[in-house]
Copies of this chain bind each other. A is one copy, B any other.
């Protein structure tokens, strides 16, 4: 199994061409259990998932995320929720007052563990032969997601995932050279700039190869998002849910 697992992970890519075939309850249960059994910091279990299969609700999420049609088309959409509502009930039951959600550390630990849960959902779904698309676009309007999913205070809808059978699998994007990702013993900055220049050319060739004439080099694409705060409501909505970032 070991080689097969590595191949599955190396083959990661998003598939947006969902068919109309449903995902069975049994498969969906197995996928969700895979994330449920993942680790969380201090065993806090400060993650929840909201599973949406209702057609109208999926269409609404597609709108919230900026008109991503594949959200409506996928039979299942799962929202990963940072959840310090559950832990607060436990902490108060123990006679204490929860403070952690009022810190960068708290939001970070919830976000980190949501990432673990998301990865487990993705790999479990792909092992079943299903396609996936992770969706950060729900952070375009987190308040709309909170309203739609009836999320309580001290929770935050961080990221979503489309899951479904796919008609046609998509190609896999190139990556920056692994020398920019893996550093042995200490961090090495020397080769990064050259690697980016080469990768910019590789990405242009990739976009051409799949007929995407609007595709940008990695530098320009990254700049188009990161020269601003491209989902600017994240902090504001998190604060209105009870999180804080001063400490």
Interface residues of A (CB under 8 A from B): 1-2, 4-6, 8-12, 14, 30-39, 41-45, 47-54, 57, 81, 84-87, 89-91, 93-109, 111-120, 122-124, 127-129, 134, 136, 139, 148-152, 155, 158-159, 172-173, 175-176, 178, 180-187, 189, 192-193, 196-197, 200, 217-223, 225-232, 234-235, 238, 245-247
A-B contact pairs, 22 of them (CB 8 A): A1-B4, A2-B127, A5-B8, A9-B34, A10-B33, A10-B34, A10-B37, A32-B182, A37-B175, A38-B119, A39-B122, A42-B226, A45-B175, A48-B180, A51-B185, A91-B222, A94-B220, A97-B227, A99-B228, A112-B112, A119-B119, A155-B187
Q: A226's contact among B47, B87, B181, B226, by CB below 8 Å, is which? A: B87
Q: Are B185 and A57 in contact (CB under 8 A)?
A: yes
**This chain: how many copies in the complex?**
2
CA distance A34 to B182 in the complex (A): 12
Residues of B contacting A225 with CB < 8 Å? 42, 44, 100
Q: Which residue from chain B places its CB closest to the CB of A172 in the assembled complex?
A: B37
Given the interface pairs A99-B228, A225-B100, the reply to whether A90 lies near B196 with Cβ below 8 Å is yes
Q: Are A86 and B192 in contact (CB under 8 A)?
A: yes
Given the interface pairs A6-B30, A104-B245, A235-B245, the reply to whether A50 lies near B115 with Cβ below 8 Å is no
Q: A33's contact among B37, B104, B173, B178, by CB below 8 Å, is which? A: B178
For the complex with contacts A86-B196, A91-B222, 5 further pairs of A-B residues with Cβ separation under 8 Å are A2-B128, A45-B180, A45-B181, A100-B229, A104-B234
Q: A50's contact among B107, B159, B186, B231, by CB below 8 Å, is which? A: B186
Q: Which residue from chain B places its CB closest to the CB of A136 in the assembled complex?
A: B41
Q: A95's contact among B32, B94, B148, B223, by CB below 8 Å, is which? A: B223
Q: A134's contact among B39, B183, B223, B235, by CB below 8 Å, is which? A: B39
Q: Which residue from chain B places its CB closest to the CB of A150 in the assembled complex?
A: B186
Given the interface pairs A115-B118, A187-B150, A238-B104, the reply to whether A91 lies near B36 with Cβ below 8 Å is no
Q: Are B42 and A221 in contact (CB under 8 A)?
A: yes
Q: Are A112 and B109 in contact (CB under 8 A)?
A: no
Q: Are B223 and A94 in contact (CB under 8 A)?
A: yes
The 7 closest A-B pairs by CB, nearest first: A115-B115, A119-B119, A5-B127, A9-B34, A104-B235, A245-B245, A94-B223
Q: Which residue from chain B places its CB closest to the CB of A174 in the assembled complex?
A: B43
Quote the shortest CB–CB distance from A196 to chain B (angstroms). 5
